[in-house]
Chains A and B, each alone.
Chain A
Amino acid sequence: MFPILLCYSLCLMMIIAAFGAVYVKNLTSAVIAAGAISLAASLLYLLLAAPDVAMTEAAIGSGLTSVVFLYTLHLIKKIDEGDDD
Chain B
Amino acid sequence: MADTIYTISAFIALAAVITAGVRLIAGPTVADRVIALDVLTIITVSLIVYIARMSGRIIYVDVAMVYALISFVGVVAFARFLERGL
Residues of A near any B CB (own CB < 8 A):
2-3, 5-6, 9, 13, 16, 20, 26, 28-29, 32, 35-36, 39, 42-43, 46-47, 49, 51, 54-55, 58-59, 62-63, 66-67, 70-71, 73-74, 77-78
Contact = CB atoms under 8 A, between A and B. Distances in A.
A28 B80 CA distance: 13
Given A9-B14, A46-B60, A73 B21 contact: no
A70 B86 contact: yes
A9 B24 CA distance: 15
B79 to A, nearest CB: 10
A78 B21 CA distance: 32
Quick one: which of B73, B74, B81 has the most chain A CB within 10 A? B74
A78 B85 CA distance: 9
Contacts of B2: none
B6 to A, nearest CB: 9
B63 A46 contact: yes
Nearest to B67: A58
A55 B54 CA distance: 19
A71 B60 CA distance: 31
A28 B82 contact: yes
17 contacts: A2-B54, A5-B14, A9-B14, A9-B17, A13-B17, A16-B25, A20-B25, A32-B30, A32-B78, A35-B74, A42-B67, A43-B48, A51-B60, A51-B63, A55-B62, A62-B70, A74-B85
